[in-house]
Amino acid sequence: MKPDWKTIRRPIIGLSPMAEMTDSPFCRVVKSLSSPIIFREMVSADALVHGNEKTLKMLDIHDEERPLVQQIFGRDPEIMAQAAKIVMARQNPEFIDLNMGCPAKKLTGNFHGCALMKDPELAAAIVKAVKAAVDVPVSVKTRTGWSDKKEILEFAQVLEQAGADLITIHGRTKKQAYAGRADWDIIRRVKELVSLPVLANGDITSPELAQKALDQTKADGILIARGALGNPWIFQQVADFLSGQPIKEVSLAERIRVAKMHARLHVEHYGPNSMVTFRKHLVNYFKGVPGVKIFRQQLVQVKTLEELDQILNQL
Ligand SMILES: Cc1cc2nc3c(=O)[nH]c(=O)nc-3n(C[C@H](O)[C@H](O)[C@H](O)COP(=O)(O)O)c2cc1C
């Protein structure tokens, strides 16, 4: 049976999409430790339709990542529909997600991402076009508004009427970007207003906060983004906490094991010169770990897997 958002087990716990972070190697690391739903990083609909090789490669998938949500961004309903078909043909994800929340100028300047909140009619047209193009559930990830958090109350209803199968709400406006705290109360108001499933997102960085966000928003589930960087164990910890089990601390040996495994998958995926783009993950894995500070300089300059092994073996 094909998974769908209405019947999937509650609470839904997922890895939130992060550009240049939630790629196939990182998602496989996460799935080797527990089983959240994976939202892969956004890909450009325009670039997919133009056949951009680098963007097409971003759709590479290994079966252990499934069930998988692939996110696309763009503003033209026809191009979004074509891109969704390309995603289905090449990757065959279980779900498609539409980015209507990214605040980056690079996207909003082209009326992509969160800018779509300013034109609900266009947002609805995109949902309808993509729904008509694919036979998997189509969701939207968005924010509480462009400049006012109450915008989401209207916007969510528009998305529901257009046929969206689920919405994820990051509890901040575009104007806030990442400042202040995510507002979980407004997510609860949306949940009371619509009948489609809602995922809460923003500032969920621990099992305790996961429980609190679920209680406060009454959402169908949560997505965790920054809290999973350098911390892919968080999903098992959340699952344990929610089911009343003790939370397992992550030992230094386990941290080293997983960092090495991730590095190997990264290099296999991107090629032998790709340690440069792995350094950001290394910094995250060892941030604040006692005794690591003196190796930090070496970690941010590491060039090969062998060098990485040598540094980590000293820890
Ligand atoms: C490095 C980075 C990249 C992101 N890329 C995406 C993306 O590709 N698509 C998207 O919808 N949100 C993206 N986000 C937003 C996150 O998915 C999430 O909504 C936001 O970080 C709030 O959740 P958090 O407090 O758990 O981090 C990104 C966030 C970060 C930090």
Residue 294: predicted pLDDT? 84
Work out which ligand 1 atom sits closest to the CA atom of 172.
22
How much distance in Å is there from the Cα of 141 to the middle of ligand 1? 10
Residue 6: predicted pLDDT: 96
Is the domain of 211 the same as that of 281?
no
In angstroms, rounded to a whole number, what is the distance separating the alpha carbons of residues 179 and 216?
21
* Full residue range of the structural domain in which residue 38 is found: 12-242
Q: Is residue 102 flagged as an active site residue?
A: yes
pTM above 0.85, yes or no: yes
Question: Is residue 160 one of the residues assigned to a domain?
Answer: yes
pLDDT value at position 161? 98
Please tell me the residue having the least CA distance from ligand 1 atom 21: 225
The CATH number of residue 262's host domain is: 1.10.1200
Residue in this structure with the two tokens 């092994």, named with its chain if needed = 309
Sequence length of the chain is: 315
Q: Do 145 and 281 share a domain, yes or no?
A: no
Claim to verify: residue 152 and residue 265 sit in the same structural domain: no
Same-domain check for residues 230 and 286: no
Same-domain pairing of 236 and 133: yes
Domain with 190 in it: what CATH number?
3.20.20.70
**pLDDT score of 315:** 84
**Boundary of a domain, candidates 208, 242, 276:** 242
Q: Are 272 and 225 in the same domain?
A: no
Are residue 194 and residue 130 in the same domain, yes or no? yes
Span from the CA of 18 to the centroid of ligand 1 (angstroms): 5
In-domain check, residue 97: yes
On whether both 288 and 309 belong to a single domain, the answer is yes
Which of 72, 102, 124, 311 is the catalytic position?
Answer: 102
pLDDT one digit per residue (tens) for the chain, 315 residues: 789 999 999 999 999 999 999 999 999 999 999 999 999 999 999 999 999 999 999 999 999 999 999 999 999 999 999 999 999 999 999 999 999 999 999 999 999 999 999 999 999 999 999 999 999 999 999 999 999 999 999 999 999 999 999 999 999 999 999 999 999 999 999 999 999 999 999 999 999 999 999 999 999 999 999 999 999 999 999 999 999 999 999 999 999 999 999 999 999 999 999 999 999 999 999 999 988 888 889 999 999 999 999 999 988
Q: Can you give the pLDDT at residue 32?
A: 98
Same domain for 294 and 163: no
Instruction: Give the pLDDT confidence score for residue 293 in this predicted structure.
Output: 84
User: Based on the structure, what is the number of domains in the chain?
Assistant: 2
Confirm or reject: Cβ of 14 under 6 Å from ligand 1.
no
Contact 207, 244 (CB under 8 A): no
Last residue within a domain, chosen from 216, 242, 268: 242
Phi, psi of 302 (to 5 degrees): -60, 140
Together in a domain, 121 and 228 = yes
d(CA 15, CA 227): 9
Cα 53 to Cα 45, 56, 61, 127: the distances in Å are 13, 5, 15, 26
Distance CA 212, CA 230 (A): 22
Contact criterion met (CB below 8 Å) for 139 and 181: no
